[in-house]
Amino acid sequence: MKTTLCTLLLSLFAMQAFAQNKEKDIIHLWPGAVPGETAPKKPAVPTSDSSKGVIRLTDVTDPVMQVFLPEKSKANGAAVIVCPGGGYQILAINLEGYEIAQWLNGLGYTAFVLQYRVPQKQEGALQDVQRALRLVRSKASEWQLQPSKIGVLGFSAGGSLSARASTLYNKQSYTPIDKADSASARPDFALLIYPAYLDLGPNHSITPELEIDNHTPPTFLFATADDPYANSALIMAGALREAKVHVELHLYAKGGHGYGLRPDNKAGLAWTTLASHWLERNVREK
């Protein structure tokens, strides 16, 4: 009962914080037509499934970023674009979005929660995260950010998307539309939490799409051994190591999949503690 109450309170707190700044803190990624999108622009649709206190969005045709700002006294000039998971079908927007943004704000990071295109629009999702990175970097001064400290953090399918952003930043996935698109789409760091779909190569090897080399940004990975997608983290870590990329991998015994940072799962406490130390060493002190 206690953990359930904590979960509900955490979710409500994140939602309230978002609602307070809803209008001024939403950035539409594409001012005109959304590349490759045939459906009309409209707000994302919450599904009828709200089990485990998770708000699930789908039918994203107008991708946006929702901005969460830390207290000025805590702000460290770094930013994280947060990519919620959901199997490229939905976005677990509070569990792996708003609640994560509140945690990042507490550490001094500006957070941008990304509503990328779903369902099953992987190419559109890559366009969305690349555009998001370019927008944040090109407008860094507006949020008092350092352009060299802009990273990605993703969960499950959002971890897949974050890995794609980290390895496909030279891919021209859409035709530039404005000055912002002259900025780099390469994240300066990446955190992949229980990532999925990174082992889709032969015999569960690295997904062929991913182009890993020594310019791939420093990466933090966390998964648990009882997660059916855990091999993704292992394979990704091995590929990064072979390319001599700075990588840190943590594999815990239990935790499953899709827990975010909620207190009813010890893995949520573990990854946030480890990731905060990693960010301190690799971003704040950089």
Q: Where are the domains of the chain?
A: 2-284
Q: Which fold has domain 2-284?
A: Rossmann fold (3.40.50)
What are 103-114's pLDDT values in tens digits? Answer: 999 999 999 999
Residue 4 has pLDDT above 80, yes or no: no
212-215: list long-range contacts, CB under 8 Å, 24+ apart: 212/167, 212/239, 212/240, 212/242, 212/243, 212/245, 213/243, 214/243, 214/244, 214/245, 215/186
- Mean per-residue pLDDT of the chain: 93
Residue 77, sorted as left (phi over 0), alpha (psi -120 to 50) or beta, turns out to be left
Q: Please tell me the predicted confidence (pLDDT) of residue 8.
A: 47
Angle between helices 157-167 and 122-138 in degrees, nearest 10 = 60
Q: Across residues 26-53, what is the average pLDDT?
A: 96
Which has the higher per-residue pLDDT, 128 or 16?
A: 128
H or E element, residue 220 = strand 219-224
- Other CB atoms within 10 Å distance of the CB of residue 151: 25
CA distance 11 to 5: 10
Which pTM does this prediction carry?
Answer: 0.93
Residue 15 has pLDDT above 80, yes or no: no
What are 186-211's pLDDT values in tens digits? Answer: 999 999 999 999 999 999 999 999 99
CA distance 62 to 116: 8
Residue 23 has pLDDT above 70, yes or no: no
